[in-house]
Structure 1
Amino acid sequence: MKYRLKIYDLLIYEALFRRFHERYARNNSIISAYRKEKAGFDGERNVDYKLSTYPQKDFFIFQGIRLPNPPFYFQIDTLILTKKLIYILEVKNYKGNLKYDSKQNQMTQEVKGEVNAFKDPILQAEAQKTHLQQWLEKHGIYNVPIETLVVIAYPSTIIENIHQDPEVYHKIIHTESLHQHLNRLHETHAKDVLTTAAIRKLSKTLLQEDQPLRTNILDYYNIDDQQLIKGVPCEQCNYSPMTRLAGKWSCQKCNAISYNAHERVILDHFLLHGDTITNKQCRDLLRISSPRTAYLILNGMNLEHSGGNKGRKYISPVLGNFPQVSYLPKEIMSTLIFDKL
């Protein structure tokens, strides 16, 4: 019902790395935050693949959804609707050795001799269950069983249930055993509580109320425009700015030619600066002087717009229409190498 996309924050970090002047790009706190977001996304995709091979055909799967439960929002990594029950999968991309303490309600992780403590993932999943129950009741849906699983994304991760609590073995699992646990839970619920029509109606409501999180990363890290590149960088050598000549972009360094190199720059503007762009902002961003050229460029991207003449604002595409491919300059990629999991 909903395929997993990169969340806004992950796309925003990647836009920031593309637009940073090189001397600002090696910010350890920003790199660390990006790596955490990317590792989480990769772990979720690993679970998505395993779930895609599950033979059950009457599952309605939402790969990442964020819903309002005023005054809060709650986010579920993977939500599965079936006639008998609803599943919540809380995906964790932890590596190394995990120890779960059911008496202290704590998870600790040891990697290369370093120990870190985390919130209890079982309680996290149960909190999502409570939020979802409340959300369902507000939409007139009651008494639907909800089961939670904490799924460790990588089989190389060692999980120790230090008190050998039987319930924990059924709550914290590896991706490789996901099918068996889905079967186990499905078999414990004998009767149907939702019709296919009810599931489809509920699915429509879930998609309508899904509100992806979007953080103002520029404000969060106190980044100003002086730290960001203006102009269109060359897709071949990353030289900036390219020159606009006769409807195309020309690189003065390597002589590469592009007809649409501006598109990624404008999409990055939406990610970093907000939901709209004007003709004047476009000219400043791309370092061009002609309002007519900016008009043709913006209209050529088939963006929705509001207002007219000098007051016209072009509106950002929805999350699903942003490119998912992480094009990043080579000098930036060298700082973002992930440890092998």
Structure 2
Amino acid sequence: MRNFPQSYIELSRLLLRLEPSHSSKKEVEKKFHQIEAGYFGEKLVDNTLLELIFPPHSCILTDVHLKIHNHLYIQMDTLIITKKYLLVIEVKNIVGTITFQKHNGQTIRTLDGVKTPFECPISQINRHIQALEQLRLPLPIFKAIVFSSNRVILENVPMDEPIFFRKNLSTYIHQLNQKEDRIDTSQFNDLIRRIQLKQHEMQRKSLCDRWRISPESLIKGLLCNLCGNILYKISNKTWKCTKCESNDRNPITHNINDYFILVKDSITTIECKEFFGFSSTHEAYYMLKKCNLINVNNARKSAYRKNIEVF
């Protein structure tokens, strides 16, 4: 039901192309593991939802990105749509003691004697609710903040907020499922289509721009699809991994996206030659042609972008 988030995939590629001694390596690893923990926490909540019986004509959307208008985008962990209600679920996979400070929009996590401030999930989910209300949807909107880990202690929890441990979520949803229908099947289907039309992935800067990393400091070359180590050419049609010794007859197809993710959204034959270590621009041109890219101009220095329908 839920795929690994794009940010997780992108950071995994950045980590493969950063030298162990790079000054940003530890910070990138920390962010990567935060996203990873969040994903597995969301999967635990997904499993809880799968155990429940929802009313007919229900839809569970995960990792929802909506464009409310040109200046407002929201990302929700889970959105449940039924004929009775909408439910926004914010999942937190945090360990330690969590102290809510609703008055200033913060939560404090205490772990091993170290206190770390976080944005209050109450403020976060309330912004999502306010944004959805701008769409004037024909259903009441409910919310739930769910802590997925068993190794968490909650302190100063506001009594008027729907904050749960994962196993308590089912009781809350069961209560919501007892409500009367507010829309008919036709309206429900129209609502699903409307939400899907609002789904939007924001255009983001390259990872090198976001992390202020020079592309020159990245590990160049073609990387093995199995273990991530450097490939070397053994013939015109075959590359071999320096570590696991697997053969790859078309390594560019799973490496070209690294450039688009990490450096920029277009590539020339010269840039391809330099980044992936091809022997000539002719070889780089030949390899780019295997990727089903879009030629964005007809000049001698053609640039290529990825075909969204292919990747």
Give the alignment of 1:196-211 within 5 angstroms.
196-211=185-200
Residues in 1 aligned to 2:57 and 2:189: alpha-carbon distance in whole angstroms:
11
Match of 2:33 among 4, 22, 35: 35
**What is the match of residue 207 of structure 2?**
217
Secondary structure (helix, strand or coil) at the match of 2:109 reads strand
Secondary structure (helix, strand or coil) at the match of 2:57 reads coil
**What is the match of residue 263 of structure 2?**
273
CA deviation vs aligned residue, 1:241-260 (integer Å, no higher than 9, x gap) = 51162311135677542123
**What is the match of residue 9 of structure 1?**
7
Shift of 1:203: 2.6
CA deviation vs aligned residue, 1:144-180 (integer Å, no higher than 9, x gap) = 2000000112133222345xx5423xx1101112221
Matched, 1:155 2:146: no
Contact 1:244 1:288 in 2 (8 A): no
Matched, 1:58 2:57: yes
Match of 1:44 among 36, 42, 45: 42
Match of 1:173 among 161, 164, 172: 164
**What is the match of residue 184 of structure 1?**
175
Contact 2:18 2:25 in 1 (8 A): no
**What is the match of residue 21 of structure 2?**
23
Contact 2:206 2:261 in 1 (8 A): no
Give the alignment of 1:270-309 within 5 angstroms.
270-291=260-281, 293-308=283-298
Contact 1:100 1:160 in 2 (8 A): yes
Give the alignment of 1:52-91 within 5 angstroms.
52-56=50-54, 57-69=56-68, 70-91=70-91
Matched, 1:240 2:239: no
Q: Which has the higher contact order (CA 8 A, sep 6+)?
A: 1
Contact 1:230 1:241 in 2 (8 A): no
Residues in 2 aligned to 1:16 and 1:307: alpha-carbon distance in whole angstroms:
29
Matched, 1:264 2:257: no
Contact 1:100 1:161 in 2 (8 A): yes
Secondary structure (helix, strand or coil) at the match of 1:110 reads strand
**Size of the alignment, in residue pairs?**
308
Q: RMSD between aligned alpha carbons?
A: 3.0
Contact 2:102 2:122 in 1 (8 A): no
Contact 1:97 1:157 in 2 (8 A): yes
Residues in 1 aligned to 2:21 and 2:102: alpha-carbon distance in whole angstroms:
47
Residues in 2 aligned to 1:151 and 1:65: alpha-carbon distance in whole angstroms:
17
Query: Where has structure 1 moved over 6 Å in runs of 4 or more?
Result: none
Percent of aligned positions that are identical: 25
Instruction: Assess, with a 3 A threshold, how the Cα gap between structure 1 residues 120 and 221 changes in structure 2: closer, same or farther.
Output: closer
Residues in 2 aligned to 1:81 and 1:253: alpha-carbon distance in whole angstroms:
48
**What is the match of residue 334 of structure 1?**
none
Contact 1:153 1:175 in 2 (8 A): yes
Residues in 2 aligned to 1:256 and 1:104: alpha-carbon distance in whole angstroms:
55
Unaligned 5+ runs, structure 2: none
- Equivalent AA in structure 1 for residue 114 of structure 2: E
**TM-score (normalizing by structure 2):** 0.85
**What is the match of residue 326 of structure 1?**
none
- Equivalent AA in structure 2 for residue 16 of structure 1: L
Instruction: Assess, with a 3 A threshold, how the Cα gap between structure 1 residues 184 and 227 changes in structure 2: closer, same or farther.
Output: same
**What is the match of residue 329 of structure 1?**
none
Shift of 1:182: 0.7
Instruction: Assess, with a 3 A threshold, how the Cα gap between structure 1 residues 102 and 257 changes in structure 2: closer, same or farther.
Output: closer
**What is the match of residue 220 of structure 2?**
230
Instruction: Assess, with a 3 A threshold, how the Cα gap between structure 1 residues 157 and 252 changes in structure 2: closer, same or farther.
Output: closer
CA deviation vs aligned residue, 1:91-145 (integer Å, no higher than 9, x gap) = 11111222335566643322112222333322321221010110x23xxx44x20
Contact 1:62 1:79 in 2 (8 A): yes
Shift of 1:317: 5.3
Secondary structure (helix, strand or coil) at the match of 2:65 reads strand
Residues in 1 aligned to 2:276 and 2:245: alpha-carbon distance in whole angstroms:
18
Unaligned 5+ runs, structure 1: 323-341
Give the alignment of 1:302-317 within 5 angstroms.
302-308=292-298, 310=300, 312-316=302-306
